[in-house]
Amino acid sequence: MALAFDEFGRPFIIIKEQEQKTRLRGLDAQRANISSGKAVARILRTSLGPKGMDKMLQSPDGDVTITNDGATILEQMDVDNQIAKLMVELSRSQDYEIGDGTTGVVVMAGALLEQAEKLLERGIHPIRVAEGYEMASRIAVEHLECIANKFEFGVNEFEPLIQTCMTTLSSKIVNRCKRSMAEIAVKAVLAVADLERKDVNLDLIKVEGKVGGKLEDTELIYGIVVDKDMSHPQMPKQIQDANIAILTCPFEPPKPKTKHKVDIDSVEKFQTLRLQEQKYFDDMVQKCKDVGATLVICQWGFDDEANHLLMHRNLPAVRWVGGVELELIAIATGGRIVPRFHELTPEKLGRAGLVREKSFGTTKDRMIYIEHCANSRAVTIFIRGGNKMMIEETKRSIHDALCVARNLICNNSIVYGGGSAEISCSIAVEAAADKHPGYAIRAFADALDSIPMALAENSGLQPIETLSAVKSQQIKENNPWCGIDCNDAGTNDMREQNVFETLIGKQQQILLATQVVKMILKIDDVISPSEY
């Protein structure tokens, strides 16, 4: 800061750019960053596993979310710190790539940071730690390949797929009916999957929810459910063998724009204009009927008069249907979206065996079901539940289960869960540490142990005792399937408990966590705006 005077002798202060910044250098920077990363990981640690706790988050506008999903917790936490944001990104990348394991990846990164902090305290250079971690992560990822199992499944024997989805769902709120949820998720994925090309397009699965009913009422519909109703209450509620016109153009007479001027100075002129408008719309309805449409689904709205006319001419219609839904309807019914009305032709109509409007409870809530479609490769999972928060959390859990089933169809390798894979990797990395100099590799092995420890802790078990017992059992029996018996099932052989996770998911967790930790360790200068 410097004091200067202008040409009239008035004093003013020059603040140098540099002085507005605060700087942290060297070990201080690493220490501060590590503690921010650890703080985020600590929040998620208690959410890991089947006995993990949920978090309740309130948004600035008062919306409440209750969730167990790592990516969602972090997304809603609104963190300010840059390193904490990196952890949020980490969880999001796992969500994008794999869809599951979003809590585990952050807990793993937190454990790696904790171990790194200890090494830095002992005077080891951060680059050495980063290099050691890199090597150890490669060893762990290769070891996962060695302990991975493959399972074969066909369209008719998808029990292993269901079991894996159940492992994912067991830590969520929907635990109570995880079997039926897992079945729904697997059936939905198989409906849209191309097993030969090992390709699954999850966009074809629509997840829709409606408050009311029980979680058990959740169903899979081979078709599309739209949260809309017929535009007029007297239109038919059920249409068999519907031919559907899917319009993204206005379905009403052209309205005069504000810049147009229409002078109507007599009753006759008004009547003529009205009749003309009516005729215009009547022609549109006739055109739909001529091409053979028995239902119109429209992205735009139409006014009450048009609605009335549609009812009179016996052409049911649904208005204000969203773009994404229209696309799905077009895919499911084998129809084409018509963007200009005059382009409507019989070939562009979609076909569905049954379109029905269903009402729920005593509310006026109604939904349109489009079923028995020409192309059954678009499906809807329709979730019911007691309240909005429950439905939102179920949607997130189903998303995880869908991702897991998709990953297994793309790559059918699995590793066992309950921390067994981590313990086995930890043993392998520790063995490698004996051959390589340096402490970082051993530290990585310790960090891997923190996942089973967190699982044990969250299940009310003694973490250190349980871990050492399971680890020694793994070494003694040479059995990489021993994990933490979180649900007190009486055995810690995860193969017997059918607790699986996908190989690519687990590998991705280790790789992503290592990458972020390496990035954090390499920062030795933090320049940020000072707080005044």
Catalytic residues: 69, 102-103, 400
The correct pick among 33, 102, 218, 243 for binding ligand ADP (CB under 6 A) is: 102
Min dist. Cβ of residue 418 to ligand ADP (A):
3
49 binds ligand ADP (CB under 6 A): yes
The correct pick among 67, 72, 75, 101 for binding ligand ADP (CB under 6 A) is: 101
Instruction: CB nearer to ligand ADP: give 486 or 513.
Output: 486
The correct pick among 36, 67, 103, 407 for binding ligand ADP (CB under 6 A) is: 103
Pairing of strands 205-211, 379-385: parallel
171 binds ligand ADP (CB under 6 A): yes
Report the residue closest to ligand ADP, judged by CB: 417
Spatial contact of 495 and 164, defined as CB atoms under 8 Å apart: no
501 binds ligand ADP (CB under 6 A): yes
Instruction: Order the strands of the 149-150 sheet from edge to edge.
Output: 149-150, 413-416, 500-502
Site track 391-430 with ligand ADP (rule: CB under 6 A), x = hit: --------------------------xxx-----------
Instruction: CB nearer to ligand ADP: give 384 or 399.
Output: 399
Min dist. Cβ of residue 97 to ligand ADP (A):
13
DSSP H helices in 16-125: 26-45, 70-76, 82-97, 102-121
Instruction: CB nearer to ligand ADP: give 45 or 384.
Output: 45
Min dist. Cβ of residue 181 to ligand ADP (A):
14
Residue 123 backbone phi and psi in degrees, to 5: 90, 15
Which residue, 385, 461, 379, 368, is CA-closest to 418? 461
The correct pick among 72, 115, 137, 170 for binding ligand ADP (CB under 6 A) is: 170
Spatial contact of 240 and 333, defined as CB atoms under 8 Å apart: no
Site track 477-496 with ligand ADP (rule: CB under 6 A), x = hit: ------xx-xx---------
Instruction: CB nearer to ligand ADP: give 394 or 497.
Output: 497
Which residue, 504, 325, 321, is CA-closest to 415? 504
100 binds ligand ADP (CB under 6 A): yes
Which residue, 155, 198, 192, 186, is CA-closest to 328? 192
Instruction: CB nearer to ligand ADP: give 168 or 307.
Output: 168
The correct pick among 37, 70, 132, 480 for binding ligand ADP (CB under 6 A) is: 70
CB atoms within 10 A of CB 67: 22
Spatial contact of 472 and 423, defined as CB atoms under 8 Å apart: no
Spatial contact of 24 and 32, defined as CB atoms under 8 Å apart: yes
Q: Which residues pair with 66 in a beta bridge?
A: 56
Instruction: Please provide the DSSP assignment of 177-231 as one string.
Output: GHHHHHHHHHHHHHHHEETTTTEE-GGGEEEEEEEBS-GGG-EEESEEEES--BS
Instruction: CB nearer to ligand ADP: give 223 or 417.
Output: 417
Total chain residues near ligand ADP (CB under 6 A): 27
Spatial contact of 242 and 355, defined as CB atoms under 8 Å apart: yes
99 binds ligand ADP (CB under 6 A): no
The correct pick among 33, 65, 167, 466 for binding ligand ADP (CB under 6 A) is: 167
104 binds ligand ADP (CB under 6 A): yes
**In which element (H, E) is residue 393 found?**
helix 388-410
Query: How remote is the C-alpha of 400 from its chain's centroid?
Result: 6
Instruction: CB nearer to ligand ADP: give 36 or 450.
Output: 450
Residue with tokens 């499944």: 153
d(CA 248, CA 153): 41
Residues from 217 through 236 that contact ligand ADP (CB under 6 A): none
d(CA 164, CA 101): 13
Which region, judged by CB under 6 A, interacts with ligand ADP, from 144-152, 167-175, 313-321, 331-339?
A: 167-175
Instruction: CB nearer to ligand ADP: give 67 or 307.
Output: 67
The region that residue 350 occupies, defined by phi over 0 for left and psi between -120 and 50 for alpha, beta otherwise, is beta
d(CA 164, CA 122): 42
Which region, judged by CB under 6 A, interacts with ligand ADP, from 99-107, 177-185, 248-256, 265-273?
A: 99-107
Query: How remote is the C-alpha of 49 from its chain's centroid?
Result: 18
Instruction: CB nearer to ligand ADP: give 281 or 500.
Output: 500
Site track 312-351 with ligand ADP (rule: CB under 6 A), x = hit: ----------------------------------------
User: Which residues of the chain form contacts with ligand ADP (CB under 6 A)?
Assistant: 47-50, 52, 68-70, 100-104, 167, 170-171, 417-419, 455, 483-484, 486-487, 497, 499, 501
